[in-house]
Amino acid sequence: MGAAATPIPEPLPGPLSPGRGGSLSSEALRFRDLLGKVGSGEHTSTGLSRQEAREAMDLMLAGQASEAQLGAFLIAHRIRRPLPLELTGMLESYRHHGPTLATPGRRALCFGVPYDGRSRTAPLLPLVALVLAAAGLPVVLHGGGPMPVKYGVTLAELFAALGINWVGLALAQVQDRLDRHGLALTHQPDHFPAAERLLPVRDAIGKRPPVASLELLWTPHQGDHLLVSGFVHPPTEARAWEALTAAAETDVLTVKGLEGSTDLPTTRAGITARLRHGVSERILLHPREHGIQSEEVRWSDLDCWRRQAGEALAGAGPLADALRWNVAAYLWFAGDHDTFVAALDQSEALLKARAGLALLAAMP
């Protein structure tokens, strides 16, 4: 007689037991349904509605989805590419859960920049922000720690090199700086810890998920503002236009800046577009037409950048032309001048007067 067949044991109850929902919470089960809509493949994936995308982001920020679900959602969404209305829904979730700042009676310039920082070219935005704020234009920024997968230098690190600390502050302290000095930076670990929950999974999947695109479209500022968003690829810009229009952003500037930032280059035409009330207008800025011909400055390290930054704020050194060019562009976009030449003249005057350095000295 042959040996009796070994009986196949019944599957043990558990979080992945088929047909039982396992030990998944009702929220995790709902997230699984939403995950199925973005991860079902090229022919069966339906995508999410605006409300469903907001719900999915709400569940992620609330910690109601497991790490496995988060990773699956983020990589599936990257492969399929988010629909503009999905980005709108996710943006609404960020607006609801994230920190908020305001400039009552004053129109702000709000910059959306990659959280994963810079690694090839010397950043200009902290210096641009200082000079614009010194000129009376409120500037609102947001950032975090070094973000996967790039791990470049961050805005907070750059400001710290100049002597301005944004880490560990209460949101009320950030608002006070905005009120008194016209400059603010919310720091994700301090002011948006719910979004910080996504970091380990973003690191584990090794790719930038659609959340990285979302971060370019979001600002903590509530109220009248010009939203400036950097991009690299034209399809990213087109999705941003549609998503932001649906999200009721009435004045948007998209910039094909250095490394996806909002820093306008000096070695080629600056490719930008203004989106007002859903109508876009392409705007090209040619630095050579205004006597700007300096090369892009390579990133080295914080010590080198600190020296270059100090020189540029005084109108000298290798970053001076790029700083003058960028300050002029944003003064013009903000509507302070009828002509670009007038904006360039004011930019040069601000650097000669060391306005940015004076604000730097006044900041706590």
Q: Look at residue 42 in the predicted model and tell me its pLDDT.
A: 64
How long is the chain?
Answer: 364
Q: Look at residue 7 in the predicted model and tell me its pLDDT.
A: 47
Tokens 């010194």, located at residue: 134
Q: Look at residue 174 in the predicted model and tell me its pLDDT.
A: 98
Structure token pair of residue 263: 């820093």
Q: Is 234 left (phi over 0), alpha (psi -120 to 50) or beta?
A: alpha
Average pLDDT per block of 10 residues along the chain, 364 residues long: 44 41 84 90 77 97 94 90 94 98 97 88 98 98 91 96 98 98 98 94 89 94 97 88 96 96 96 94 96 95 98 98 98 93 97 98 94
Largest CA distance in the chain: 101
Q: What is the pairing mode between strands 183-187 and 225-230?
A: unpaired
Q: How many other CB atoms are found less than 10 A from the CB of residue 255? A: 29
Residue type at 344 in one-letter notation:
L
CATH fold, domain 108-362, is: Pyrimidine Nucleoside Phosphorylase; Chain A, domain 2 (3.40.1030)
Give CATH 3.40.1030.10 domain extents, the chain.
108-362
Of residues 158, 130, 154, the one with CA closest to residue 327:
130
Q: What is the pairing mode between strands 139-143 and 108-112?
A: parallel
Q: Look at residue 13 in the predicted model and tell me its pLDDT.
A: 41
How far is CA 194 from its chain centroid?
A: 16
Task: Give the angle subtended at the CA of 44 by the CAs of 40 and 48, to the nearest 5°.
Answer: 70
Strand ranges (DSSP E) for 84-209?
108-112, 139-143, 183-187
Q: Look at residue 148 in the predicted model and tell me its pLDDT.
A: 85
The phi, psi pair for 270, rounded to 5°, reads -80, 120
Of residues 319, 334, 362, 343, the one with CA closest to residue 125:
319
Residues with Cβ < 8 Å from 134, sequence gap 6 or more?
Answer: 182, 350, 355, 356, 358, 359
Cα(120)–Cα(262) distance, integer angstroms = 15
Task: Give the angle subtended at the CA of 214 by the CAs of 69 and 227, to the nearest 5°.
Answer: 165
**pTM of the full structure:** 0.91
Structure token pair of residue 143: 């950032």
Q: Look at residue 43 in the predicted model and tell me its pLDDT.
A: 60
Tokens 């790039």, located at residue: 150
Residues with Cβ < 8 Å from 66, sequence gap 6 or more?
Answer: 24, 28
Residues with Cβ < 8 Å from 92, sequence gap 6 or more?
Answer: 50, 54, 247
For 60-119, give the DSSP string: HHTT-S-HHHHHHHHHHHHHH---HHHHHHHHHHHHHHS--B--TTSPEEEEE--TT-BS
